């Protein structure tokens, strides 16, 4: 009777294990989800469905113990199909006992959550992008001009994000000029300065020019004292001056390599 | 030497080469040979190298292209690289690859405009 | 992307194997869910090291293995050869050590692209270079 019931519920892989964890029954959904046929899997231990690192950690023993103790164990995690492919699953293990309380075995219901996990990962990725946008904004402010209003300092991680987004934007929009505005950067240290120089180099490799704007007196002073060589970079004290320079560059038919400031 | 893989086109007194996406070492070496032959044959103003399809730019590629640019310069021409991919630009910067005597442009059209403008006397290098 | 554990090995015996190595690393890194820029970093580092194997030893092997540590996923690459070996490993890792124009052995550059790079080498004993890079999420 259990077998018939199991067969009619086609979205849930329902199988039964003996007290040691070996498979005793199998249903159609289980075959579809995990790949093995009943002949192939009955008698095998259910740790076959788990990633090797989980088996090594003793996860399967722990699950059986917990189900035996609490009556039930529920978990979400990676499982393995016959072909070796991983899928994200929701699993419920239920201890089955006779009327005297002796353990007969376990019922195991497995649900494939791959679809849900894909959606979750997508949502996570979008949230990440929105977050990154807030943290490192890259905006086209004029035809051919990209503005990056930096706020705070630039550590390695932020620099990576910045460079990726800025370079992609420059390529997508074919913008000849990028304005890196550091008005919102309170103080500049060697690390941030180095990262800025790296960013300038990378944008130049694409064929666009970078103007560092918002270089106020205190920043200029720090840069000189730190011995940072920005002679190779076009800089301006204010964003407005930088914009003016950008438009100058754009209005010439040819991108000028003039080094006058 | 894989001469067949590199085709050099002449556009308005300028040589144009489009690199394939994952050139092997002999193709990269052939680039140098073909460019020098063509520079001589066409007395070209320079070389525009389109690398928009290139996925990997390692030190061998950088070294060969830099040497080629040096030779082109000695023959009176300029070398402009077009279309570097963001991921490639970031990797090259991080590795510290130097592309000396090489200019860069966002597109072939702009590269052709640059070639028409005389370079600064001190050597018009972006890099 | 749901990663699948992967590993493999390929022989480096001919110049074209440098390209084969790049492709194998591109596939492995992409399958493991590395972002586009990190894939490029791994492929570029592999290109440098595969070429070293071919140029200095004539032949060798590239092995790759996915790594998993708690919630982190990564890729490990290993380049092994029975070549002449590197006399002064420290010097080879220095910036600017080269025989003309480029990055010489390409090692300092490659090191900056990955999280860990370890070299075991001695004259007459061959060289093993191991790289590790973790996914950033």
ipTM: 0.90
First to last CA, chain B: 30
Q: At what angle do helices A114-135 and A156-173 cross, to 10 degrees?
A: 90
Q: What is the CATH number of domain B3-112?
A: 3.30.750.24
> What share of chain B has pLDDT > 70, as a percent?
89
Residue B120 confidence (pLDDT) above 80: no
Q: Which of B41, B105, B106, B53 is nearest to B79 (CA)?
A: B105
Lowest pLDDT segment from A141-150, B115-124, C15-24, C102-111: B115-124
Q: Does A88 touch chain C (CB under 8 A)?
A: yes
Report the pLDDT averaged over residues C40-63. Answer: 96
Q: Does A12 touch chain C (CB under 8 A)?
A: no
In A, minimum Cα distance to B95 occurs at A198
Class (C level, CATH) for A136-251? alpha beta
Q: Mean pLDDT for chain C? A: 88
C-alpha pair distances (Å), C109 with each of B19, C46, C73, C94:
23, 11, 23, 10
Residues from chain B that touch C40, judged by Cβ atoms under 8 A, are 55-56, 85, 87-88, 90-91
CA A231 to chain centroid, in Å, comes to: 38
**Domain total in chain C:** 1
CA distance B78 to B70: 9
C-alpha pair distances (Å), B37 with each of A228, B15, B43:
43, 11, 10
What pLDDT score was predicted for residue B73? 93
Nearest-CA distance from C123 to chain B in Å? 24
Per-residue pLDDT of chain A (261 residues; tens, 9 = 90+): 556 555 555 567 889 999 999 999 988 888 888 999 999 999 999 999 999 989 988 999 999 999 999 888 988 888 999 988 888 888 999 998 888 889 999 999 888 887 777 787 788 778 877 776 666 789 999 899 999 998 877 888 888 989 999 999 999 999 999 999 999 888 888 888 889 999 999 999 999 999 999 998 989 999 999 888 888 889 999 999 999 999 998 986 444 444 443
Q: What are residue A148's DSSP bridge partners?
A: A180
What pLDDT score was predicted for residue B6? 84
Return the higher-pLDDT residue of C29 and C3: C29
What pLDDT score was predicted for residue A259? 41
C-alpha pair distances (Å), C27 with each of A147, B31, C123:
35, 27, 34
> What share of chain B has pLDDT > 90, as a percent?
75
On whether the CB atoms of residues C12 and C59 are closer than 8 A, the answer is yes
Six token digits for residue A16: 């039964």
Nearest-CA distance from A104 to chain C in Å? 34
Class (C level, CATH) for A2-118? alpha beta
Residue B122 confidence (pLDDT) above 60: no
What pLDDT score was predicted for residue A11? 63
Give the contacts of A125 (CB within 8 A, at least 6 positions apart): none
Q: Could you check whether A2-118 and A136-251 share the same CATH topology?
A: no
Q: Is residue C83 part of a domain?
A: yes
pLDDT in tens, C32-45: 999 999 999 999 99
C-alpha pair distances (Å), C35 with each of A128, C25, C41:
14, 13, 10
CA distance A219 to A194: 14
Q: Does A84 touch chain C (CB under 8 A)?
A: yes
CATH number at residue C100: 3.30.565.10
Q: Is residue C1 part of a domain?
A: no
C-alpha pair distances (Å), A49 with each of A56, A78, A184:
13, 9, 53
Largest CA distance in chain B: 38
What pLDDT score was predicted for residue B61? 96
Select the residue of A167, A254, A258 nearest B89 (Cβ to Cβ): A167
Q: Is residue C2 part of a domain?
A: no
Residue B117 confidence (pLDDT) above 80: no
Q: For chain A, which residues make up each domain, given as ranges? A: 2-118, 136-251
What pLDDT score was predicted for residue C136? 83
Residue C104 confidence (pLDDT) above 70: no
Q: Is residue C106 part of a domain?
A: yes
CA distance A239 to B28: 43
Residues from chain A that touch C68, judged by Cβ atoms under 8 A, are 53
Sorting pLDDT into bands at 50, 70 and 90, what band is C95? low
Nearest-CA distance from A248 to chain B in Å? 16
What pLDDT score was predicted for residue A230? 85
What pLDDT score was predicted for residue C50? 97
CA distance A256 to B119: 10
C95: containing domain: 7-134
Helix (H, G, I), strand (E, B) or coil at C82: coil
Residue with tokens 């023993």: A61
What pLDDT score was predicted for residue A182? 92
């Amino acid at each position: 009777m259990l077998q018939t019931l199991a067969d009619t519920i086609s979205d849930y892989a329902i199988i039964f294990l003996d007290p040691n964890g070996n498979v005793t029954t199998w249903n159609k959904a289980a075959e579809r989800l995990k790949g093995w046929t009943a002949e192939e899997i009955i008698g095998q231990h259910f740790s076959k469905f788990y990633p090797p690192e989980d088996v090594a950690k003793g996860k399967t023993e722990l699950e059986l113990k917990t189900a035996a103790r609490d009556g039930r164990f529920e978990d979400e995690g990676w499982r393995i199909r016959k072909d070796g492919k991983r899928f994200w699953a929701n699993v419920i293990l239920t201890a089955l006992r006779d009327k005297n309380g002796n353990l007969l075995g376990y019922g195991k219901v497995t649900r494939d959550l791959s679809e849900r996990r894909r959606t979750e990962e997508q949502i996570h990725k979008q949230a990440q992008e929105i977050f990154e946008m807030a943290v490192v904004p890259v905006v086209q402010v004029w035809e051919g001009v990209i503005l990056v209003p930096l706020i705070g300092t630039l550590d390695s991680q932020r620099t990576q994000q910045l460079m990726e987004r800025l370079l992609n934007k420059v390529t997508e929009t074919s913008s000849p000029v990028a304005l890196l505005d550091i008005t919102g950067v309170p103080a500049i240290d060697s690390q941030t300065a180095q990262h800025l120089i790296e960013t300038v180099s990378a944008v130049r490799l694409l064929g666009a020019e970078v103007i560092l704007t918002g270089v106020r007196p205190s920043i200029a002073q720090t840069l000189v004292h730190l011995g940072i060589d920005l002679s190779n970079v076009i800089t301006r004290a204010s964003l407005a001056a930088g914009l003016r320079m950008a438009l100058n560059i754009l209005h010439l038919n040819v991108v000028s390599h003039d080094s006058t400031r | 030497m894989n001469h067949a893989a590199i085709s050099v086109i002449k556009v308005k007194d300028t040589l144009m080469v489009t690199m394939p996406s994952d050139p092997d070492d002999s193709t990269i070496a052939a680039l140098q040979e073909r460019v020098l032959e063509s520079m001589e044959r066409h007395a070209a103003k320079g070389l525009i190298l389109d690398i928009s399809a290139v996925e990997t730019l390692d030190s061998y590629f950088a070294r060969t292209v830099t040497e080629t640019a040096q030779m082109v310069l000695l023959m009176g021409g300029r070398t402009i690289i077009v279309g570097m991919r963001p991921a490639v630009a970031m990797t090259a910067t991080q590795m510290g690859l130097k592309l000396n005597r090489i200019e860069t442009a966002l597109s072939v059209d702009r590269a052709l405009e640059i070639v028409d403008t005389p370079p600064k006397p001190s050597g018009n290098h972006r890099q | 992307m749901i990663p699948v554990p992967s590993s493999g090995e390929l022989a480096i015996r001919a110049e074209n194997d440098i390209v084969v190595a790049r492709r194998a690393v591109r596939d492995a890194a992409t399958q493991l869910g590395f972002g586009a820029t990190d894939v490029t970093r791994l492929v570029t580092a592999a290109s440098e090291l595969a070429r070293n194997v071919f140029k200095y030893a004539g032949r060798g092997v590239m092995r790759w293995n996915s790594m998993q540590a708690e919630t982190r996923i990564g890729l490990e690459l290993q380049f092994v050869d029975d070549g002449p070996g590197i006399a002064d490993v420290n010097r080879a890792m220095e910036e600017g050590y080269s025989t003309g124009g480029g990055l010489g052995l390409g090692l300092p550059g490659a090191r900056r692209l990955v999280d860990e790079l370890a070299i075991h080498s001695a004259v007459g004993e061959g060289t093993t270079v191991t790289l590790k890079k973790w996914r950033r999420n």
